[in-house]
Structures are given as structure tokens and as C-alpha cells.
Amino acid sequence: MNKQDRLNRLVPLTGALFVGLELGGVAAGSQPNVTLGDPTAKILAAITKHAGAGAWVGAHMELASLAAFAAFAAWLLRSRPRALHGTGLLAAGSFVAVTGASLLAGDAIRYGTSHGLAHQQLLALFYVQSALFSASWAASAVFLALVPVRGWLRRSALAIAALQLAALAAPTAGVSQLPTMLFLIWVLAASVSLAWRPHPAISPAPAAA
């Protein structure tokens, strides 16, 4: 196996690393278990709870996961024609930037809880965080629509992208969180599939004129 073949099997696994770090961070308690549609009293009870060391470790894991996603996206989009390649990278970069901003807003909430921020200020930060999180759905939907994959990876990517865009119409509904989990499942499945069989599932780049 030459160097290029090894890269084609190892680099796709950055997608699995992204999902592992993301879910590991959530499991560590990086984010309060509330959504935008929950009652204000429940949101306040969750975001004013003292954040232990595990929550901060989880927060750093989630931030680190975005670097893994960026590597996965750059590798996956490499075969796109120039215009679509640029658009895909812009969508992936927007996802990283908006998600990172959302995570930093969460960090501000955790820090402010024990450093004198009033409930209304914490709620305002939570609403900003939720708005940024919702915006990430649009960015990831565009990314999924542009990934150069074939077969079931292509069909499932388009279906999840449509669900993510639909969720933007009702961000406070409980089911609006589902497409985000489906997105993570897709990235994991694509990562493993492309690492196992890197060439057949990827649409080839067009031949030069």
C-alpha cells in the first residue's frame, strides 16, 4: 500500500474522530440538557447549575472536534470542481465557525454562572447560543448537499439536509434536534465507509478539458 492509499484510508477517519469527540464532550456534561423550547424555569435551573471539571473537559473536547471535522470536510470535498469545491469549503467553514461560536457562548454561560452574571444575562447568552446552534443546521445542510459521494451516502445526505432545513422552520420543537443527531450518524457512517472502501463511494473529479 503506497502513501496515497494509506492517506485515503486514514484521513476519512477524522470524521469518526469528530463524532467521537463531539459525543464524548456531551456525555461529559459540556452542555445543559435543555432546548430552546423548554420552559424558562427549566432552562434557568439547568444553565445556573455549577459546572464541574468534567463539563470543562467536555467543552474542550467539543471544540477540538471541529478541527477533526474541518480535516474530514477538506478531504471529502477535494474532488469537487473549483466552484462547488469553494462553496462546499465555505459551508464547512461556516459550520465550524458558527458551531465554535455557539460552544464559546456555552463556555461564557458556565463561567458567568459562578462569576456574578444575572439570570437575564445568562438567558440572553443561552438564546444567542441556541440561535448559533440553529444556524449551524443550515451550514451543515449545504455541506451535505455538496459532498461528492454516490449511492446510499448521497441519498441519505440529501434526506438529512432536507430535514435540517425543515427544522429551521420550528427550532423550538423537540424533533428539531433529531436532524443534528442524524448528521453525526451520517458523518460516522461515511467516515468508516470511505476509509474501508475510499474510491467507489466518491464521485470522481471531472476530466480536464
pLDDT, average across residues 72-94:
88
pLDDT of residue 208 exceeding 90, the answer is no
Residue 208 lies inside a defined structural domain of this protein: no
Give the pLDDT score at 209: 38
pLDDT, average across residues 190-205:
72
pLDDT, average across residues 49-70:
93
Q: Per the structure, how many domains does the chain have? A: 1
Q: Which residue has the higher pLDDT, 113 or 200?
A: 113
What are the residue ranges of helices labelled H in 147-177? 151-167
What is the DSSP code (8-state) at residue 33?
S
Residue 207 lies inside a defined structural domain of this protein: no
Task: For residue range 141-188, list pLDDT tens digits in order.
Answer: 999 999 999 999 999 999 999 999 999 999 888 788 899 999 999 999
φ and ψ at residue 202, rounded to 5 degrees: -105, 130
Give the pLDDT score at 137: 96
φ and ψ at residue 165, rounded to 5 degrees: -70, -35
pLDDT of residue 1 exceeding 70, the answer is no
Residue 172 lies inside a defined structural domain of this protein: yes
SS3 110: helix
Give the pLDDT score at 82: 72
Residue 74 lies inside a defined structural domain of this protein: yes
Residue 10 lies inside a defined structural domain of this protein: yes
pLDDT of residue 25 exceeding 90, the answer is yes
pLDDT, average across residues 89-114:
94
pLDDT of residue 204 exceeding 60, the answer is no
Paired residues of 202 in beta bridges: 149
Count the neighbouring beta carbons within 10 Å of the beta carbon of residue 101. Answer: 17
Residue 138 lies inside a defined structural domain of this protein: yes
What is the C-alpha to C-alpha distance for residues 104 and 98, in angstroms, rounded to an integer? 10
Quote the domain boundaries for residue 58.
3-196
Residue 209 lies inside a defined structural domain of this protein: no
174 within 8 A of 124, measured Cβ to Cβ: no
Residue 204 lies inside a defined structural domain of this protein: no
